[in-house]
């Protein structure tokens, strides 16, 4: 028996992709929201972005006695702390291969054994290289008490859309070079999946809530919860060396107060307050998990102050404008950093941007509605497209307007105008071509690699020159996927339900996973699939299977008939009913 839809469930289990602006026309002035035109049309790359690549020279920096930072070996840094009889590694890169390359360099410094790992937060580029440092995986791993939870969220209900958006944001489909991927703003590039490194995971086993004082290999370490880029973010403080490791709460770029790949809301004001905690430590050395380390107490004090002030400024001025009744579109035109912050080398929009931050703050406080009742229930895209064509005097006139906007370097307007034709006909060849041209010009003018990569990737997609690939599950990836909870895979099934096929259905499918001592029931009820813990006595089918075997089934690593024949899967209630129940689930293919 073949269950093709069940096999396609592999798309929801993929962890291959990393889970993981632009400027004014004068680059010597503020580098806030992008204008339409490239300030240097002879170049394919904004000069500030191109120069930023030097920040990621592949090198191990000695910060102070006993502390080193490996920069440029992957998207994130890895930090070595040497103790009396062992070493501590802070953040472990995004893949085993990256970690092995860093460890080879660290072994030139010391051959002492690894006594502990510390994860500053859950992002893949900080946690998925563990086995490259400790191949046997037997080591103490310190992290916040919620880090395991946030790692588990990698397998979730919105995995397909995050996969696609992450691929565009990080430029996974772009060729490296001036016409494509330049750098990632906080590192050179992602090295995971699509021919890159293999993600591995050693789970945190030493966790804390607020603060934790430990001593490892004779080194006194203070771990402090400091929410910012993530809710589980911590900073690492070495009191005897005056070394601060802030994780991703500061790096040499404007902070990603909102990421265009999509994440949970980031508490902007909380981020500023976490930086205040760091300032109180009066560090003499700052070792970020992205970009190079910095030394000098006065320099660091000023840097932390300006960085947190920029965050609070954007927050406060956005709220101020909101209280005056301004919409997000109005706010992004008025909220600009003051000159002393806009010109700061650590606040160039080389990762996050002020515009995206403003929109996120508005949405975080008030939600999507901008306050103008005309937007409460907008006309459909098709209606708007048809109306715009009529207003322009016909399709040819609208296309003429798009081309004129491009000629005038009003590229944002050109892209929007082209969209109206695509609202009517998504395959309109000339509109796709012109929109792609507008996006490419916007990308090449962008100082933010996130924006640049998104623009350039979607331009290629419009031209039919690239598409999001199907996500292959390798044996190494499969072993990592098996470490995630069964509930994550089952809960994703609820958003795979096809309401048209199940609008008159009321059926239950129960699961027993003996190896992890868990039971669950999926209740398909008139267009809704509800996952409940425990067995339901009214279930039409009861499936008993070990969690690992189930994951192999849903990722296509093993066949359904073979699993049943081997006795690894038992069905109580009649095997012929299973295709009927599974048939309600239309799995989403991120490559479609």
Residue from 190, 208, 169 nearest 124 by CA: 190
Phi–psi pair at 426, nearest 5 degrees: -60, -20
pLDDT of residue 38: 44
pLDDT of residue 40: 42
Q: In what order do the strands lie in the sheet with 206-208?
A: 59-64, 67-71, 78-82, 87-90, 114-118, 140-144, 206-208
| 204 vs 581 pLDDT, higher one | 204
Q: Which of 418-422, 530-534, 585-589 has the lowest mean pLDDT?
A: 585-589
Helix axes 268-280 and 297-323, enclosed angle (nearest 10):
160
Mean pLDDT of 554-579: 82
pLDDT over threshold 80, residue 586: no
**Cα distance between residue 83 and residue 92, in whole Å:** 18
Give percent above pLDDT 90 in the chain: 70
Q: Please list, in sequence order, all residues whose beta carbon lies within 8 angstroms of the beta carbon of residue 187, skipping any fewer than 6 positions away.
A: 56, 72, 74, 75, 76, 125, 290
Distances (CA, A) of 562 to 541, 559, 567, 568: 19, 5, 9, 9
**Cα distance between residue 343 and residue 399, in whole Å:** 39
The two structure tokens encoding residue 386: 């048809």
576 pLDDT band, cuts 50/70/90, is: low
Distances (CA, A) of 313 to 29, 134, 343, 370: 18, 43, 15, 21
pLDDT of residue 592: 34
**Cα distance between residue 229 and residue 307, in whole Å:** 13
Distances (CA, A) of 552 to 478, 486, 569: 8, 12, 12
Report which secondary-structure segment, H or E, holds 61: strand 59-64
Q: Which of 3-12, 222-231, 573-582 has the lowest mean pLDDT?
A: 3-12
Q: Which of 241-250, 273-282, 582-591 has the lowest mean pLDDT?
A: 582-591
pLDDT over threshold 50, residue 308: yes
pLDDT of residue 43: 59
196 pLDDT band, cuts 50/70/90, is: low
pLDDT over threshold 60, residue 240: yes
**CA dihedral sign, ordered 87, 90, 95, 98:** negative
Q: Which of 50-64, 117-131, 286-300, 484-498 has the lowest mean pLDDT?
A: 484-498
Long-range residue pairs from 358-361, CB within 8 A, at least 24 positions apart, any chain: 358/314, 358/318, 358/328, 358/331, 358/332, 359/258, 359/328, 359/331, 359/332, 360/257, 360/258, 360/265, 360/266, 360/268, 361/257, 361/268, 361/314, 361/315, 361/318, 361/319
Mean pLDDT of 181-194: 78
The two structure tokens encoding residue 115: 């006594």
| 15 vs 488 pLDDT, higher one | 488
For the chain, how long is the longest CA-to-CA vector?
78
Give the pLDDT confidence of 479-495 residue by residue, as tens digits: 888 989 988 888 888 88
**Cα distance between residue 282 and residue 296, in whole Å:** 10
Distances (CA, A) of 202 to 45, 127, 136, 467: 38, 8, 10, 33
Mean pLDDT of 394-404: 97
Mean pLDDT of 145-159: 86
């Amino acid at each position: 028996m073949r269950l093709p839809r069940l096999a396609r469930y592999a798309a929801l289990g993929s962890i291959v992709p990393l889970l993981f602006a632009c400027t004014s026309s004068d680059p010597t002035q503020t580098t806030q929201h992008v204008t339409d035109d490239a300030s240097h049309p002879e170049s394919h790359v904004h000069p500030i972005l191109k120069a930023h690549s030097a920040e990621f020279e592949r090198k191990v920096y000695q910060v102070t006695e006993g502390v080193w930072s490996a920069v440029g070996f992957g998207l994130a840094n890895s930090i070595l702390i040497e103790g009396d009889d062992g070493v501590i590694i802070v953040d472990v890169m995004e893949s085993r291969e990256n970690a092995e390359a860093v460890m080879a360099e660290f072994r030139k410094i010391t051959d002492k054994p690894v006594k502990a790992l510390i994860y500053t937060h859950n992002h893949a580029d900080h946690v998925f290289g563990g086995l490259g440092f400790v191949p046997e995986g037997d080591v103490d791993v310190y992290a916040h008490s919620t880090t395991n939870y946030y790692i588990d969220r990698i397998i979730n209900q919105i995995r397909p859309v995050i996969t696609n958006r992450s691929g565009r944001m990080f430029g996974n489909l772009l060729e490296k070079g001036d016409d494509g991927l330049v750098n990632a703003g906080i590192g050179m590039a992602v090295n995971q999946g699509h021919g890159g490194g293999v993600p591995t995971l050693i789970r945190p086993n030493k966790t804390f809530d607020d603060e934790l004082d430990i001593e490892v290999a004779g080194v006194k370490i203070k771990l402090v919860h400091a929410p910012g880029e993530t809710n589980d973010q911590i900073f690492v403080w070495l009191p005897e060396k005056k070394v601060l490791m802030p994780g991703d709460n500061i790096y040499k770029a404007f902070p990603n107060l909102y990421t265009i790949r999509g994440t949970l809301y980031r508490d902007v004001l909380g981020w500023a307050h976490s930086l205040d905690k760091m300032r109180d430590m009066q560090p003499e050395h700052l070792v970020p998990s992205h970009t190079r380390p910095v030394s000098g107490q006065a320099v660091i004090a000023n840097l932390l102050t300006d960085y947190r002030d920029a965050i609070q400024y954007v927050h406060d001025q956005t709220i101020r404008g909101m209280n005056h009744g301004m919409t997000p579109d109005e706010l992004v035109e008025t909220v600009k950093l003051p000159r002393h912050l806009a010109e700061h080398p650590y606040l160039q929009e080389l990762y996050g941007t002020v515009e995206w931050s403003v929109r996120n703050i508005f949405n975080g406080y008030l939600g999507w509605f901008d306050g103008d009742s005309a937007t409460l229930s907008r006309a459909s895209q098709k209606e708007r497209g048809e109306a715009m064509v009529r207003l322009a005097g016909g399709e040819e006139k609208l296309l003429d307007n798009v081309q004129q906007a491009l000629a005038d370097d009003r590229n944002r307007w050109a892209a929007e105008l082209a969209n109206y034709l695509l609202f009517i006909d998504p395959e309109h060849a000339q509109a796709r071509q012109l929109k792609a041209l507008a996006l490419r010009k916007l990308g090449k003018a962008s100082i933010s690699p996130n924006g640049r990569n998104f623009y350039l990737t979607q331009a290629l997609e419009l031209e039919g020159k690239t598409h999001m690939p199907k996500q292959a599950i390798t044996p190494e990836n499969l072993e990592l996927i098996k470490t995630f909870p069964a509930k994550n895979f089952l809960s994703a099934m609820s958003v795979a339900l096809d309401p048209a096929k199940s609008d008159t259905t009321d059926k239950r499918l129960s699961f027993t996973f003996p190896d992890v001592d868990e039971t669950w029931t999926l209740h398909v009820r008139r267009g809704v699939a509800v996952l409940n813990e425990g067995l339901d006595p009214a279930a039409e089918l009861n499936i008993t299977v070990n969690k690992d075997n189930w994951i192999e089934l849903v990722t296509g690593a093993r066949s359904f008939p073979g699993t049943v024949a081997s006795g690894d899967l038992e069905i109580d209630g009649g095997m012929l009913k299973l295709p009927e129940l599974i048939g309600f689930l239309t799995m989403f293919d991120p490559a479609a």
